[in-house]
């Protein structure tokens, strides 16, 4: 089996009650309103005790963070332990992907230390596609399974991946990322050029907006 970069898959990642809490936080009429080519993100973060919330309450964000943070840190230790010391905060976004929406191949922004996506709903959809390069060679799917988590630690020009709807139903995931604000140190750890990396990061949203490509 071809595996383009190092990652971890953990089934039954969330406790069942937490999976229910997260899904129940969504307003069904808003979920039903997602248009086929739209992506909607309910943004939450936990940053040194400060909480930003959206569909989940602040108390729920705090509890979820307390329950899963150490599990994610120990996975980051396995995947890229040098990055643990530059951890600053956690993102906990619920992402609803319209059935025809496609997000192009990308390697993730440098502020993500550990990317964790947990498949929530429905019971069948597309998983996440991993690739050997930015052109899409060596496509490999981490198949969709309710409450399956895919985790990896991004690396410049390496952790190529994409996601898209299955043309049938809205794809709902929880993204729980360990994040940093110390971007220069990310490039030092990855042994890559900081200034070139920043240039790419700034250019990327425009390339995506106008040409639907990413760097
Ligand atoms: Fe990504």
CA–centroid distance, 33 to ligand 1, in Å, is 24
Q: What is the pLDDT of residues 149-208, one digit of tens each?
A: 999 999 988 999 999 999 999 999 999 999 999 999 999 999 888 877 777 777 777 777
- Percent of the chain at pLDDT above 70? 97
CA–centroid distance, 116 to ligand 1, in Å, is 9
Is pLDDT of 132 > 70? yes
- Mean pLDDT score of the chain, rounded to an integer? 93
**Token duo for residue 196:** 């070139």
- CA dist list (Å): 153 to 62, 158, 173, 195: 23, 10, 18, 21
Q: What is the pLDDT of residues 29-63, one digit of tens each?
A: 999 999 999 999 999 999 998 999 999 999 999 99
- pLDDT value at residue 69: 97
Phi, psi of 192 (to 5 degrees): -125, 165
- pLDDT value at residue 1: 54
- Selection from 51, 44, 49 nearest residue 25 by Cα: 44
CA–centroid distance, 152 to ligand 1, in Å, is 10
The CA-to-CA distance between both ends of the chain, in Å, stands at 27
CA–centroid distance, 133 to ligand 1, in Å, is 14
CA–centroid distance, 12 to ligand 1, in Å, is 21
Q: Kindly list the structural domains of the chain, giving each domain's residue range(s) and its CATH number in brackets, ordered by start.
A: 8-211 (2.60.120.620)
CA–centroid distance, 107 to ligand 1, in Å, is 6
- pLDDT value at residue 192: 85
CA–centroid distance, 16 to ligand 1, in Å, is 25
CA–centroid distance, 159 to ligand 1, in Å, is 9
Residues around the ion ligand 1 (C-beta < 5 A): 108
163 vs 212, more confident: 163
- pLDDT value at residue 10: 98
CA–centroid distance, 114 to ligand 1, in Å, is 11
CA–centroid distance, 115 to ligand 1, in Å, is 7
Is pLDDT of 213 > 70? no
CA–centroid distance, 106 to ligand 1, in Å, is 6
Is pLDDT of 17 > 80? yes
CA–centroid distance, 117 to ligand 1, in Å, is 9
- CA dist list (Å): 130 to 66, 71, 204: 29, 23, 19
- pLDDT value at residue 57: 98
- pLDDT value at residue 197: 76
């Amino acid at each position: 089996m071809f595996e383009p970069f190092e990652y971890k898959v953990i089934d039954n990642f969330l406790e069942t009650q937490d999976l229910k809490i997260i899904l129940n936080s969504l307003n069904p009429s808003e979920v039903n309103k997602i248009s086929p080519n739209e992506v909607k993100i309910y943004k939450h973060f936990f940053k040194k005790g400060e909480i930003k919330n959206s569909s989940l309450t602040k108390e729920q964000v705090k509890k979820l963070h307390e329950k899963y943070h150490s599990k994610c840190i120990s996975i980051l230790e396995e995947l890229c332990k040098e990055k643990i010391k530059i951890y600053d905060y956690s993102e906990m976004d619920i992402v609803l992907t319209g059935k025809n929406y496609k997000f192009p191949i990308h390697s993730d922004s440098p502020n993500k230390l550990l990317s964790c996506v947990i498949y929530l709903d429905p019971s069948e959809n597309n998983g996440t596609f991993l690739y050997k390069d930015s052109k899409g060679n060596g496509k490999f799917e981490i198949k969709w399974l309710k409450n399956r988590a895919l985790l990896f630690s991004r690396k410049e020009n390496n952790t190529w991946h994409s996601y898209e709807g299955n043309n049938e139903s809205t794809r709902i995931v929880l993204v729980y990322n360990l994040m940093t604000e110390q971007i220069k140190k990310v490039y030092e750890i990855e042994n890559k050029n900081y200034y070139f990396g920043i240039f790419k990061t700034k250019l990327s949203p425009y390339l995506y907006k106008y040409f639907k490509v990413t760097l």
